[in-house]
Amino acid sequence: MTTKSASARTVRTRWRRVLPWFATAAVLAACSGPAAENTTTQTAGPTGTLTSVSVVTHGSAGDAFWNVVKNGADAAGKRLGVKVDYQSSGDPTQQAKLIDNAVAQGVGGLVVSMANPDALRPSIQKAVAAGIPVVTINSGEAQSASVGAIGHVGQSEESAGEGAGKRLAAAGKHKLLCVIHEAGNIGDNQRCDGATKGFGGSATTLQVDINNPTDAQSRIKGALDADHSIDAVLTLNSQVAARAVAAAGESGSTAQVATFDLNSEVVDAIKSGKLLFAIDQQQYEQGYLPIVMLQLYKSNRNTVGGGAPVQTGPAFVDKDNVDAIATLVSQGTR
């Protein structure tokens, strides 16, 4: 009996020493076992490092607006250590091919402007299906989520147009000519629709071709010659703005010109009083912010905007603030 009792006491002592280790192991298992696995499976996939981004826009090579977008993307890439490949084409079919090429090369992220969403949708969806995160910029705000993009960066074109129309009405204008420079670009139509709504008075549109500046100027002059009651012209592009100012001068029209977007000519025209104002959508941000968004998504599965577009505009530039903006335009960031 004495031997058995001693043996039993020894076993009980050993269990008292071992049980705390089992308890600790159970706690650790609870922390790092099924619960932790569930947390992992709730993410959208493995995180990693963003090394390359392809930016594919609908702008023309050398365009002042898109050069600023490119500058923003390049600056963000340099700061974050991401290789940025910027390409553009005004032809939607060619733009889709550029997206397809980027997907085939296994790019880490994709930034796309969707001036023609229907033409680009299949290519963007292929990128998403391949596991490539996409951020849309500039155009296609309403279609961004439906193609699978993780976010959109730009300005609401209709809201910006409405703001422009209200400003022209407040300046005492009564008849508006809105000049559309790119056929098939939904953003242009949205701008004019918004301007018509905000203006509240008589408004009409004129289609010109940005790739034929001389003809664009001639068409604007013809519209002003045909209707002397037009006292406001709204262009949707900084290059077309210069043509509109020249057309008004040739016509002898008293119509005042306002425009979307900035370049050095627009700045000078605002300073001299030939342009009433410019709507600045701060396109540098449209190049810069998507690279940051893609890097955050790739490394930490962050998304920005909460399902809503990240707005970069409109910001208005007129004689009151043009001097402060002029230097930034000259350095390619506004």
3 state SS for the chain: CHHHHHHHHHHHHHHHHHHHHHHHHHHHHHHHCHHHHHHHHCCCCCCCCCCEEEEEECCCCCCHHHHHHHHHHHHHHHHHCCEEEEEECCCHHHHHHHHHHHHHCCCCEEEEECCCHHHHHHHHHHHHHCCCCEEEECCCHHHCHHHCCCEEEECCHHHHHHHHHHHHHHCCCCEEEEEECCCCCHHHHHHHHHHHHHHCCEEEEEECCCCCHHHHHHHHHHHHHHCCCCCEEEECCHHHHHHHHHHHHHHCCCCEEEEECCCHHHHHHHHHCCEEEEEECCHHHHHHHHHHHHHHHHHHCCCCCCCCCEECCCEEECCCCHHHHHHHHHCCCC
Residue 312 pLDDT: 97
Task: Tell me what pLDDT residue 128 has.
Answer: 98
pLDDT at 46: 56
User: Tens digit of pLDDT for each residue in 144-185?
Assistant: 999 999 999 999 999 999 999 999 999 999 999 999 999 888
Which parts of the chain register pLDDT below 50? 1-45
Res 213: pLDDT:
95
Please report the pLDDT score of residue 184 as a whole number.
84
Q: What is the pLDDT of residue 48?
A: 86
pTM: 0.79
Q: What is the pLDDT of residues 234-249, one digit of tens each?
A: 999 999 999 999 999 9
User: Given this model, what pLDDT does residue 64 score?
Assistant: 87
- Say what the pLDDT of residue 102 is: 98
